[in-house]
Structure 1
Amino acid sequence: MDLGLRGKRILIAGASKGIGRSLVETFYAEGCRVAYCARNEALLNQVMQSLNATKDNMLPYALDVQDTATFELMIKQTVSRWGGIDCFIWNISAQSSSWSTGFKVDIESCVNCMDLIIPFLRATQGGSVVAVASRVASIGIPNNKPYAALKAALVHYMASLSQELVGEGIRVNCVSPSEVMSEGSVWARLREDEPEKYQRALKRSPLGRMATPEEIAQAVAFLASPAASYISGVNLQVDAGGHQAVNY
């Protein structure tokens, strides 16, 4: 199946490791030009080098999305080089137990970045946005209430944006993964340090395993693509069927 992504200009916020790195790799494999940012310049460059990419089709930016002036410069430099932006992917989270830190990074930064990029998506006359949220947005987690509540806020914000922008041809969706295993992740550390707790987490999955970053990235790529041209306002649960609520 051709997703229709070849030649599309993608901007990814949060793309140095885990799901973020897989997002870069997936969109690049689909023939996209990819601009991506994170705070760690060395990791950003590793992604580019591993794909043997050039700045004709890949632009890494080392920045903190809380610095809106630097993020705006990233957008303008990307548009200057490639002529526009077709898709924006938000994959940023402080993963913090602090309400103030989580809000500033997960919500306030997202809103600020969206305000900056929406005019450029309007200019493409048919752009798309996908935010990576989390399954905990709909179920809650007792030991990290800020993370769960702020992911729920992100899903609601994106749903509201969808209603605001879909009439202009801009689609907005979310992908909410359950547990994702990647190198250096909290689950990788748990597997080594607390194997019993890790095994309990595995049992929560109907498939008996955690998702891979590639599986999440492929779901994001589909929703971002022209193949999903009639889908907007969706929060896609990528959790092997672990979310058992029925949505009518």
Structure 2
Amino acid sequence: MDLLLDGRVVLVTGGSRGIGRAIVAGLAAEGARVAFCARGEDGVRACETELRGTGAEVTGTAVDVADGDAIAAWVAASAEHYGGIDAVVANVSALAIGPGEENWRSSFDVDLMHTVRMVDAALPHLQRSDAASITAVSSVSGREIDFADGSYGVMKAALVHYVSGLAFDLAPQGIRANAVSPGNVYFPGGVWENVEQNDPQLFAHAMGLNPTGRMGTPEETAYAVISLVSPRASRISGTNLVADGALSRGVQL
């Protein structure tokens, strides 16, 4: 099925590794023109070079998304470079799990406020698109109490609430807004590989909660995101798409 993404301009935060990189690669494979950012310059350049080598039309920029001015400048520069914006994907997380005010502040600034600031900066451009969408990557930790309760889970829940409000407020303008909530996602250099190496007991516990017997891949989460970005999903707005392999047990009514 043609996802109608050919030539569309999509911005993705945290696009140099893991879920974000899979989103960038998947969108580009569908013909989208993708601007992505991440904090580390070396990782951005390596990802950009590798994807361009496959023929992808991508542009990477090193940005600290906790800096409101920096993310606004990146959005503006990307819109100017590509001549507009059709969709934004807020993917970055501070992964600030555990007690302490520092984790609360980091989760607020990175997980929640980077999304708000990105949307605010992109909105004038989205209003000019005929297939505009906003997608935020949340987490199953935002819909149930698990080891990541506290700042991480609270901000992931706030993201879903924020996106739901956007969906209602922006519907008259033809702009869709959705969230994707993945479960455990394993990839080299990711948080779960680190847990596997440094806290095998927690890793074994987390694996045991997955009824599929495995954790997810970045590509599996990316598929959920790309499906919602696609103009084919024109009637889907205000949803929280859970992509966790039946890990969570809550019932969405």
TM-score by length of 2: 0.92
Q: Which moved more, 1:146-155 or 1:181-190?
A: 181-190
* Structure 2 CA distance for aligned equivalents of residues 185 and 225 of structure 1: 27
Change (3 A) 1:143 1:211: closer
Contact persistence 1:86–1:121 (CA under 8 A): yes
Q: Which moved more, 1:211-220 or 1:235-244?
A: 235-244
Equivalent position amino acid for 2:43 in 1: L
- Please state whether the residue corresponding to 2:127 is helix, strand or coil: helix
Question: Post-superposition shift, 1:41?
Answer: 1.1
* Structure 2 CA distance for aligned equivalents of residues 148 and 28 of structure 1: 31
* Structure 2 CA distance for aligned equivalents of residues 5 and 71 of structure 1: 24
Match of residue 208, structure 1, among 213, 221, 224: 213
TM-score by length of 1: 0.94
Question: Are 1:230 and 2:235 matched, yes or no?
Answer: yes
Question: Post-superposition shift, 1:80?
Answer: 1.8
Contact persistence 2:141–2:148 (CA under 8 A): no
Partner in structure 2 of residue 79 of structure 1: 79
Match of residue 155, structure 1, among 143, 157, 160: 160
Question: Are 1:135 and 2:140 matched, yes or no?
Answer: yes
Question: Post-superposition shift, 1:21?
Answer: 1.0
Partner in structure 1 of residue 2 of structure 2: 2
1:38-117 matches, within 5 Å, as 38-53=38-53, 57-96=57-96, 97=98, 98-117=103-122
- Please state whether the residue corresponding to 1:3 is helix, strand or coil: coil
- Please state whether the residue corresponding to 1:99 is helix, strand or coil: helix
Q: Which runs of 5+ in 2 are unaligned?
A: none
Contact persistence 2:15–2:21 (CA under 8 A): yes
Match of residue 190, structure 1, among 189, 192, 195: 195
Contact persistence 1:68–1:112 (CA under 8 A): yes
Change (3 A) 1:27 1:154: same
Question: Post-superposition shift, 1:56?
Answer: 8.8
Partner in structure 2 of residue 13 of structure 1: 13
Change (3 A) 1:200 1:54: closer
Contact persistence 2:22–2:219 (CA under 8 A): yes
Equivalent position amino acid for 1:74 in 2: W
Equivalent position amino acid for 2:7 in 1: G
* Structure 2 CA distance for aligned equivalents of residues 54 and 2 of structure 1: 20
Aligned-residue CA RMSD in angstroms? Answer: 1.8
Partner in structure 2 of residue 199 of structure 1: 204
* Structure 1 CA distance for aligned equivalents of residues 249 and 198 of structure 2: 30
Aligned pairs, number: 248
Identity %: 38
Change (3 A) 1:76 1:141: same
- Please state whether the residue corresponding to 1:35 is helix, strand or coil: strand
- Please state whether the residue corresponding to 1:236 is helix, strand or coil: strand
Contact persistence 2:76–2:121 (CA under 8 A): no
Contact persistence 2:75–2:118 (CA under 8 A): no
* Structure 1 CA distance for aligned equivalents of residues 252 and 235 of structure 2: 18
- Please state whether the residue corresponding to 2:52 is helix, strand or coil: coil
- Please state whether the residue corresponding to 2:128 is helix, strand or coil: helix
Match of residue 219, structure 1, among 215, 224, 228: 224
Change (3 A) 1:141 1:172: same
* Structure 1 CA distance for aligned equivalents of residues 3 and 248 of structure 2: 26
